[in-house]
Amino acid sequence: MLKKVLSTVLALATVLTLCFAFASCNNTETPAGTDTKDPAQSGTEATPSGKTVKVGFIFLHDDTSTYDKNFMNGAKEAQQALGLADDQIIFKYPVEEGKGCYDAAADLVDQGCNIVFADSFGHEEWMIKAAKEFTDVQFCHATGVKAHTEKLANYHNAFASIYEGRYLAGIAAGLKLNEMIAAGKFKAEEAVIGYVGAFPYAEVVSGYTSFFLGARSVCPTATMLVDFTNSWYSVDAERDVAETLISKGAKLISQHADSMGAPSVCEQKNVPNVFYNGDTMSTCPNTYLIASRINWAPYFEYMINCVKEGKAIDTDWTGTIATGSVVVEVLNEKVAAAGTKEALEKATADLKAGTLHVFDTKTFTVDGKEVTSYLADVDDYGDFKGETEVIKDGYFHESEYRSAPYFDLRIDGITDLSKQ
């Protein structure tokens, strides 16, 4: 018996050793396994238009996060559109917002990437550190704020005018509220929107304000309650906040946080929900109304083409409806009010034509007064002092002086529950 066991064990051990030996043999042959930083060694074919590209993507979470999944889909879409091979697109996740981001960036450079992209706000400091060290590699960062003040030739920020998408989604929400008022479900002055925010950042403030302005443009009695989870991804916290908002009288919920927490509560309680970064049509068919999303594929195509052609990438790049970066997802006809589609088409055309501005100062007040001048904190030196005049020609110029949002006015009609 013992002999039998021993011989089986030994046989297994031999197999294992062989496996390892074989695998490591193969490994030394892959150029990615070497320590050189020469992209020419990356083993990919040069594109006919010029430089070989290899793009490394750094994501905060895996694809269970809707936020990161949206970036991953954009990367895959860009890969397909540009006809890049699978080994020209490298993913790295989960990458923490800390030293791990620098390590991941350096590892991507080691693998021969000539573009490194990171998707989360907290990655920025570490991307800059890597950009300073690897000067022949382009570093692109979504949602960041420091490219225009760091003035590095190889470090760039990107974002999209998502406030336009949220404004459009807001119109659909406002029309839905109108429909519910007309059906006698609640009184006009009870048209309360609940908003689940992640952090009280400008990015989130800009988002919920544009959503609210869109809703109020069609439903003048609408008001909004906002609360924060202080996390970008927390199913439980988002669920809790959504439940609180509903118990405080919210008739419709939207969110700027990355989990399915809020939509699942809405589906349970039959409250209409406006989603972000994808659609929940299949999981929440009875309450999903509409969603807005940033499509990152146009930016990815742009940055890859720049490197291919040897052109400089914009320090700040802001995608718009026109570039295809701001997308309004499929409208749920089952939930939406009649005439929503037409209203959205008209508003989209007006936004494109520049005749409609989301942050038109005539449409909102702060402490009961119209805002005629505002210094926003566009240059982020950590001082939190505004230095750039952003109100000109009767509207707040969002995402023009840098790509990341800086609208942080707290307008009348929106109540921040975290401040109570």
Nearer to another protein by Cβ, of 89 and 177: the residue is 89
Tell the smallest beta-carbon distance from residue 122 to another protein (Å): 4
Residues 341-380 that bind another protein (CB under 8 A): none
Q: Would you count residue 60 as binding another protein (CB under 8 A)?
A: no
Is the distance from CB of 126 to CB of 138 less than 8 angstroms? Answer: no
- Site for another protein contains 385 (CB under 8 A): no
Q: Using CB under 8 A, count the residues that bind another protein.
A: 52
Q: Which residue of 77, 107, 360, 400 would you call a contact of another protein, by CB under 8 A?
A: 107
DSSP string, 21-65: HHHHHHHHHSGGGS----GGGG-PPPPTTSS---EEEE-SS-TTS
Binding piece for another protein, criterion CB under 8 A, among 24-32, 234-242, 252-260, 365-373: 24-32
386 binds another protein (CB under 8 A): no
| Contact with another protein (CB under 8 A) among 51, 73, 199, 388 | 199
Residue placing its CB nearer to another protein in the complex, 61 or 166: 61
190: contact with another protein by CB under 8 A: no
Q: Is 150 in the site for another protein (CB under 8 A)?
A: no
CA 325 to chain centre: 11
Q: Does 77 bind another protein (CB under 8 A)?
A: no
Angstrom distance (rounded) from CA 354 to CA 54: 37
Closest by Cα among 380, 382, 398, 379 to 390: 398
46 binds another protein (CB under 8 A): no
Q: Which is nearer to another protein, 27 or 247 (CB)?
A: 27
Task: Match 């790509």 to its residue by tokens.
Answer: 403
The correct pick among 77, 103, 314, 400 for binding another protein (CB under 8 A) is: 103
- Which of the ranges 22-30, 206-214, 325-333, 390-398 carries the binding residues for another protein, by CB under 8 A? 22-30
- Given candidates 41, 43, 125, 301, which one binds another protein under the rule CB under 8 A? 125
The tokens describing 353, both together, are: 């034509």
Amino acid at 198: A
Rounded to 10 degrees, what is the CA torsion of 364, 369, 375, 381?
A: -80
Helices (H), 118-260: 124-133, 147-150, 162-182, 202-218, 235-247
Among 33, 50, 220, 249, binds another protein (CB under 8 A): 33
Q: How far is the CB of 186 from another protein (least distance, A)?
A: 33
Element (H, E) at 255: strand 250-256
Task: Write phi, then psi, for 142 (nearest 5 degrees).
Answer: -85, 145
Question: Can you spell out the DSSP letters for 261-298?
Answer: HHHHHHHHHT--EEEESS--TTT-TTTEEEEEEE--HH
CB of 1 to another protein, least distance (A): 5
Distance between CA atoms of 361 and 272, rounded to whole angstroms? 29
Closest approach, Cβ 280 to another protein, in A, equals 19
Using CB under 8 A as the binding rule, whether residue 49 contacts another protein is answered as no
Instruction: Determine the interface stretch with another protein among 123-131, 261-269, 270-278, 297-305 (rule: CB under 8 A).
Output: 123-131
CA distance 101 to 69: 18
Q: Considering the rule CB under 8 A, would residue 40 count as an interface residue with another protein?
A: no
- Cα Rg of the chain, angstroms: 24
Least distance from another protein to the Cβ atom of residue 70, Å:
15
Longest dimension (CA), the chain: 90
- Please say whether the beta carbons of 408 and 380 come within 8 A: no
Asked if 118 interacts with another protein (CB under 8 A), we say no
Distance, in Å, from the CA atom of 290 to the CA atom of 254, rounded to the nearest integer, reads 10
Contact status: 92 vs another protein (CB under 8 A): yes
Q: Under the criterion CB under 8 A, does residue 419 sit at the interface with another protein?
A: no
**Of 84, 106, 175, 196, which lies in the binding site for another protein, with binding defined by CB under 8 A?**
106
What is the phi/psi pair of residue 158, to 5°? -150, 150
Residues that bind another protein (CB under 8 A): 1-2, 6, 8-10, 12-13, 15-16, 19-20, 22-24, 26-27, 30, 32-35, 61-64, 72, 90-94, 96-99, 103, 106-107, 110-111, 121-122, 125-126, 129, 199-201, 230, 382, 384
